[in-house]
Amino acid sequence: MVREDALTSVLDAASIRRAVSRMAHEVIEAGNSPESLALIGIYTRGVPLAKRLADLIREFEGVPADHGSLDVTFYRDDLPLRRPRPSRQTALGFDLTDRNVVLVDDVIFTGRTIRAALDAIMDFGRPRRVQLAVLVDRGHRELPIRADFVGKNLPTSLDEEIVVHLEEIDGEDAVYLSRVSSGRAEGSVRRGRKGENHKAAAR
């Protein structure tokens, strides 16, 4: 667990609300009509973020957009290196064929989670295009993957972690920066996210 007194606040609830609202506008402006759009949240905190975006798009456009959740656990290329954890249910009540899919996650780091998500969604159809929305981009990509819609760019070092709290899961909306030892930082990149400690490692 991350010690609460070791956290530095970088985004508060109002900042997150503005960032998500801006991202919703950008998704629409990118030519994504609600009728063709499918917002897919990646577990864990990408799921409530996808719902927030869907709710805002419905508010702005007056038309609901489909949204669902995606578990990429068994599509990861680092699965043997990660601590075992129970899989969560992928919930997509719609075909992705010829849809404009927007993957949604809280943090993008190495890009390996997104690569796994791209593999996973192809089991549910052939989208017209796939875009990526993230609340925080912390840099340090290991794969040629970039986000199309970013709430906040937060350059970090490898001995830092981004900790995202969302009201639906953690009881508050906040983004924190945490510093870890160099040994732990190197290990977190190799192993990925540890259980449910919501750190941005190997994303």
Q: What is the predicted pLDDT for the residue at 128? A: 97
Residues 6 or more apart from 53 whose CB is under 8 A from it?
A: 20, 23, 24, 27, 39, 65, 67, 102, 104, 133
Q: Over the chain, what is the mean pLDDT?
A: 87
Q: What is the predicted pLDDT for the residue at 137? A: 98
| Helices 46-61 & 13-29 angle (0-180, nearest 10) | 60
**Ranges 3-7, 59-63, 193-197: which has the least confidence:** 193-197
Q: What is the predicted pLDDT for the residue at 191? A: 35
**pLDDT tens by residue, 15-43:** 999 999 999 999 999 999 999 999 999 99
What is the architecture of the domain spanning 18-156? 3-Layer(aba) Sandwich (3.40)
> Is the pLDDT confidence value at 55 over 50?
yes
**pLDDT tens by residue, 168-195:** 999 999 999 998 765 544 444 433 333 3
How many CB atoms are closer than 10 A to CB 139?
A: 13
The tokens for 86 are 């129970």
Q: Which residue has the higher pLDDT, 138 or 196?
A: 138
Residue with tokens 């995202």: 164
Phi, psi of 168 (to 5 degrees): -65, -25
Q: Which residue has the higher pLDDT, 157 or 179?
A: 157
Peptide bond into 44 cis (omega under 30): yes
Q: What is the predicted pLDDT for the residue at 88? A: 73
Percent of the chain with pLDDT strictly greater than 90: 74
- In DSSP terms, which residues pair with 164 in a beta bridge? 175
> Which residue in 27, 5, 6, 202 sits closest to 102, CA to CA?
27
